[in-house]
Structure 1
């Protein structure tokens, strides 16, 4: 893994956007997984600016959403797909055929996971998979205890994940389960990317990158990924190599 440290969130976001720009320049038809949440917002801001300035062309690219709250879709403010539409896809009028999200309202969630796995396989695998990190070390909605060899799946949400998610909603949701790409997808992605910022996540980043490799900290899988690019700002990196 290649750990890159930046003085602030804006510098981190610019650097992460550059890696997406670089990927699209090298392969215009890339398949990229995007996450939702606070961490990638700055990256999307830069990517939208680049696209509107004609510096990057997403017209041939394909995208998948990392995860979703079970029972929600893009019409639910606070959902993962709503976030990605709001901050990226709708701003650039990305064609619906280029984007695939989990149908988290599907009656057969296992079948939906199989469809997502097949979609990724049919497009030749993920060229880039971008993720953040949860306060408990989760990646996407791969909660502590998730096997590193798991592909797309749905599972119960950890209490801390439910608590943190409240900030994304104006009305209190009933969150119990999530559907997500798996850690095996991350391991198989040609370029796995982790974005993290802020002192509040310094402890879990240190556990994930300096601590033991364990399913109790899903993000520790990055220790096994030689092609991984990890973007950290000063606050989140302050405890690295100090524990």
Structure 2
């Protein structure tokens, strides 16, 4: 586990974008998992800039979305896939064949999970899986109590997750369940990446990276993943033990 501390969010975002840039340079057909939310927005801005300047070519890369609110897809404003299209895929006109999201509107969610697992396996596994961290330590929508060995799955959302999610919607939907890549995917990714910013994340970051490894704090799995890259700005790192 390598922890990188940066003076501010912009520096963190630039460094995270450089990590993706380096991955694509080394393996143009990489399979990368992208998250939605506030934390990766700056990274996407840098990556879009690099691509438009001709410094990076995503034409051979493949992407999967980390998670989705059950009952939503890219046409629903506030959904995870809508965010990723708005902030990255649509801006660079990434071909639809390069991108896979959960179909969170189907009746058979177990089948949707199985299809995502098969898709990742067929592409040779995740080269890079980038995630943020929830206020309760969740990764993707792997809520507290999730088994570290689970692949894609769907489950009930924690109350704090539902409360935090409200900011993404202009009209409040009824959020009850999420569908997500599993913590086993994170463990098997060749490069797992965590991005966190702001003082509001400092407490859970310290708990996840300095506390006991437990399913009560899903993000504590990072302590068991030697290839992990952790990107924190000053605020997020302020309660972390000095190394």
Which TM-score bucket, shorter chain as reference?
A: over 0.9
Query: In structure 2, how many angstroms separate the alpha carbons of the residues matched to 1:106 and 1:30?
Result: 28
Question: What is the match of residue 29 of structure 1?
Answer: 29
Give how far 1:51 is off: 0.1
Residues in 2 aligned to 1:154 and 1:232: alpha-carbon distance in whole angstroms: 28
Cα shift at 1:182? 0.1
- How many residues align? The count is 242
What's 1:130 paired with?
130
Unaligned ranges ≥5, structure 1: none
Q: What are the Cα deviations for residues 9-33 of structure 1, in whole angstroms up to 9, with x where unaligned?
A: 0000000000000000000000000
Secondary structure at 1:17 match in 2? helix
C-alpha displacement at 1:185, in angstroms? 0.0
Task: Give the structure 1 partner of residue 48 of structure 2.
Answer: 48
Equivalence map 1:163-182=2 (5 Å): 163-182=163-182
Corresponding residue of 2:5: 5
Q: What TM-score does the superposition give when structure 1 sets the normalisation length?
A: 0.99
Deviation per residue, 1:134-193 (Å, 9 max, x gap): 000000000000000000000000000000000000001100000000000000000000
Give me the whole-angstrom Cα distance separating, in 2, the residues matched to 1:104 and 1:121: 20
- The 5-angstrom pairing of residues 139-150 of structure 1 reads 139-150=139-150
| Aligned mates of 1:29, 1:236 — CA distance in 2 | 32
- Structure 1 residue 241: deviation in Å? 1.0
Cα RMSD between the aligned structures?
0.5
Displacement of 1:226 after TM fit? 0.3
Q: Which structure 2 segments of 5+ residues have no match?
A: none
4+ residue runs over 6 A deviation: none
Post-superposition Cα deviations, 1:186-239, rounded to whole Å, max 9, x if no partner, equal 000000000000000100000000000000000000000000000000001000
C-alpha offsets along residues 28-85 of structure 1, whole Å, 9 cap, x if unaligned? Answer: 0000000000000000000000000000000000000000000000010000000000
